Amino acid sequence: MNDTILLVGCGKMGGALLHGWLERGVDGAGIYVVDPADESRQLTSELGVSYVEAAQEVPSGILPRVVVFAVKPQITDDVVPDYARYSTSECVFLSIAAGRPITYFAERLGDGAAIVRTMPNTPAAIGRGISVACANQQVSAESRELCGDLLNAVGKVAWVDDEGLLDAVTATSGSGPAYVFLLIECLAEAGIAAGLPEDLARQLALETVAGAGELARRSEDSPSVLRQNVTSPGGTTAAALEVLMADDGMGQLITRAVTAATRRSEELAG
């Protein structure tokens, strides 16, 4: 974890990665952030890592062990080709750009480029993210371990051999936090409609979702068992679940939502 890292893009996810690396003991002297934004310049100054606005400004003597693409997919066409000069057996490219397949990077970096594609999610900002990664054949065991270490700095990591699964991963965990945030919003609004003061309803919704999630994470029981434990026959929870678990209820809505997001991820990948 002391190898030179080029972090290309330092927005929300790139910034979360950077903080996670430093907290895990990565030497800041070996990190170069490439991002034209003033916010990134200020952040790197505060954290004591090197900063340049563009790839052309990276010192010629720097040979990165890993180049992390943490940029939006809309600008990868303008960004990625500038790093083809680092396509050697000693460098691995780690991409968190949604919807961009490994072949996309191989076309711009060279067929011999070692590429890892991954999909993290926004809880990485507090070290509670989950990332799923897929590597091409050029990625060595050592490079795979290095990428895993970098991703572990912001949460859990899972690996898959089938890159096609990343579209469903994007729809499930990549977009998933938005579904949970929407649940908090809807639960709060329902509480308000039931007569609760707005502040109390929002507090109850937030703490209930956060607490239930943490309970599910820590418990050895499955979510279905935990749900059953809360549900007394003929009680208030049972009455609510009759609505939520109806044929047109929450299960169908979530399935349709994940299907739509998966389809869109496939479209973005071309």
Scored b (16 or more CB within 10 A) or e, 139-172 reads beeebbebbbebbbbbbebeeeeebeebbbbbbb
Quote the tokens at residue 34: 């490439």
User: With pLDDT > 90 as the criterion, what percentage of the chain qualifies?
Assistant: 84
**CATH number belonging to the domain at 176-269, selected among 1.10.3730.10, 3.40.50.720, 3.40.50.150, 3.40.50.300:** 1.10.3730.10
pLDDT digits (tens, 9 = 90+) for 31-73: 999 999 999 999 999 999 999 999 999 998 888 999 999 998 8
pLDDT digits (tens, 9 = 90+) for 211-250: 999 999 999 999 999 999 999 999 999 999 999 999 999 9
pLDDT digits (tens, 9 = 90+) for 11-22: 989 999 999 999
pLDDT digits (tens, 9 = 90+) for 137-178: 999 999 999 999 999 999 999 999 999 999 999 999 999 999
pLDDT, mean over the chain: 94
The full set of domain ranges for the chain reads 5-164, 176-269
Closest among 159, 135, 129 to 17, alpha carbons compared:
129
Quote the tokens at residue 71: 């940029």
Higher pLDDT pick, 84 / 99: 84
Q: Domain 5-164: which topology? A: Rossmann fold (3.40.50)
User: Looking at residue 89, what is its pLDDT?
Assistant: 77
Query: Are 5-164 and 176-269 equal in CATH topology?
Result: no
Quote the tokens at residue 127: 């070290």
